[in-house]
Amino acid sequence: MEKEQLRERLASAASMPKDVVMKAAVVTAVGNFEVCIENYRGITEYTECLVRVQTKGGQIRLSGKCLRVEYYTNDEMKVTGRIESIEFADGRNKE
Q: What pLDDT score does 70 carry? A: 97
pTM: 0.76
Average pLDDT for residues 26-31, to the nearest whole number?
Answer: 95
Residue-averaged pLDDT of the chain: 84
pLDDT in tens, 37-53: 999 999 999 999 999 99
Backbone φ, ψ for residue 45 (5° rounding)? -155, 140
Overall residue count recorded for the chain in this entry? 95
Q: At residue 36, does pLDDT exceed 70?
A: yes
Tell me, letter by letter, the H, E, C secondary structure of the chain.
Answer: CCHHHHHHHHHHHCCCCHHHHHCCCEEEEECCCEEEEECEEEEEEECCCEEEEEECCEEEEEEEEEEEEEEECCCEEEEEEEEEEEEEECCCCCC
pLDDT band for position 24 (cuts 50, 70, 90): confident
Q: Are 52 and 58 in contact (CB under 8 A)?
A: no
